[in-house]
């Protein structure tokens, strides 16, 4: 995966061609070796926002959102309310480009009538990507395969949105810094923590520490956690909601790993 992304990075910079990979491997051997050894895999699938939006609307209680994403990469999904969405039961948002998919079980129409505002957008990642720079944008595009033009187009459109007003991204291990981040809350706002395809890489002790941090913070003031994890039949991601303190995980939906389809209420 790293090697192919390194080649794509070169092609995006017109330094190589897919039509002559042999020459690229020879000419850029040192770069590709270093890339495959040192460059972490970084993806940010904005299509997942299409599956997350009904969950955000489900938890909206009239207060503005104070958003915190765990493992945001470049933070494209932190700007979910700046895109527009289409479902079989209606549409939501007025952003510059539209996300849609195969909503096999669509969200109810009354859910899509809810409105929400965002007062803050924060994310913490081991290696956040700054797509306001040319290199950061090129890096993120490199990890999308070139034979997937739809994904590349969505990514580039989302990058354009982020560049106008990027979210606050912090470098760090979110298991370590979460307690501190949870103490910094916006008065009068609803704290909504979320992640997609991130906590699956934590070991059991890391998951326990996350849960403990949110339980403690929730005792001071309630919060909600929206999270994806593999569905029991491995057909996609189970989208779950957990309210703190004391709440148990509740499944809201199942969605495709990249957000291509959604089954709300499954």
92 contact partners, CB below 8 Å, separation of at least 6: 53, 57, 84, 85, 112
Query: What is the pLDDT at residue 211?
Result: 97
Token look-up 């549409």 returns 91
Instruction: Report the C-alpha gap between 117 and 204 in whole angstroms.
Output: 34
Q: How many CB atoms lie within 10 A of CB 236?
A: 22
Torsion of CA 200, 202, 204, 207, to 10 degrees: -90
CATH number of this structure's domain 48-130+146-264, picked from the four choices 2.60.120, 1.10.30, 3.40.50, 1.10.287: 3.40.50
pLDDT tens, the chain, 266 aa long: 999 999 999 999 999 999 999 999 999 999 999 999 999 999 999 999 999 999 999 999 999 999 999 999 999 999 999 999 999 999 999 999 999 999 999 999 999 999 999 999 999 999 999 999 999 999 999 999 999 999 999 999 999 999 999 999 999 999 999 999 999 999 999 999 999 999 999 999 999 999 999 999 999 999 999 999 999 888 899 999 999 999 999 999 999 999 999 999 98
Model pTM?
0.95
Domain ranges of the chain: 2-38, 48-130+146-264
Query: What is the pLDDT at residue 232?
Result: 86
For 154-186, give one letter per residue: b (16+ CB within 10 A) or e: bbebbbebbeeebbebeeeebbeebeebbeebe
Query: What is the pLDDT at residue 266?
Result: 83
Which of 248, 34, 226 lies closest to 116, judged by CA?
Answer: 226
Is residue 124 within 8 A of residue 181, CB to CB? The reply is: yes
Query: What is the pLDDT at residue 234?
Result: 85
Which SS3 state, helix, strand or coil, does residue 146 take?
coil
Which of 97, 88, 12 lies closest to 262, judged by CA?
Answer: 88
Query: What is the pLDDT at residue 32?
Result: 98
31 contact partners, CB below 8 Å, separation of at least 6: 6, 10
Beta strand ranges found along the chain (DSSP E): 65-70, 84-87, 90-92, 98-100, 102-105, 118-125, 168-171, 190-195, 223-230, 237-244, 250-255, 261-264
Q: For the chain, what's the residue count? A: 266
Phi, psi at residue 194, to the nearest 5°? -150, 160
């Amino acid at each position: 995966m790293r090697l192919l992304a390194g080649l794509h990075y070169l092609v995006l910079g017109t330094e190589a061609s897919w039509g002559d990979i042999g020459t690229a491997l020879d000419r850029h051997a040192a770069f590709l070796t270093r890339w495959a050894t040192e460059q972490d895999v970084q993806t940010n699938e904005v299509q997942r926002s299409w599956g997350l939006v009904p969950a955000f609307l489900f938890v909206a209680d009239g207060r503005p959102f104070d958003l915190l994403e765990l493992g945001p990469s470049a933070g494209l999904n932190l700007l979910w309310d700046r895109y527009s969405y289409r479902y079989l039961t209606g549409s939501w948002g007025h952003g510059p480009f539209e996300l849609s998919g195969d909503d096999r079980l669509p969200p109810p129409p009354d859910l899509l009538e809810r409105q929400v505002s965002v007062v803050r957008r924060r994310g913490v990642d081991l290696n956040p990507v700054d797509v306001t720079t040319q290199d950061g944008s090129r890096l993120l595009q490199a990890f999308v395969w070139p034979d997937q033009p739809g994904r590349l187009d969505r990514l580039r459109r989302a990058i354009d949105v982020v560049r106008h007003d990027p979210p606050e991204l912090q470098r760090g291990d979110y298991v370590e810094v979460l307690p501190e981040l949870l103490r910094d809350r916006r008065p009068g706002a609803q704290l909504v923590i979320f992640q997609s395809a991130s906590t699956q890489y934590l070991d059991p002790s890391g998951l326990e520490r996350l849960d403990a941090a949110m339980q403690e913070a929730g005792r001071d003031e309630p919060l909600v956690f929206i999270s994806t994890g593999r569905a029991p039949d491995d057909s996609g991601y189970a989208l779950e909601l957990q309210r703190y303190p004391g709440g148990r995980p509740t499944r809201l939906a199942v969605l495709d790993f990249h957000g291509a389809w959604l089954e709300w209420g499954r």
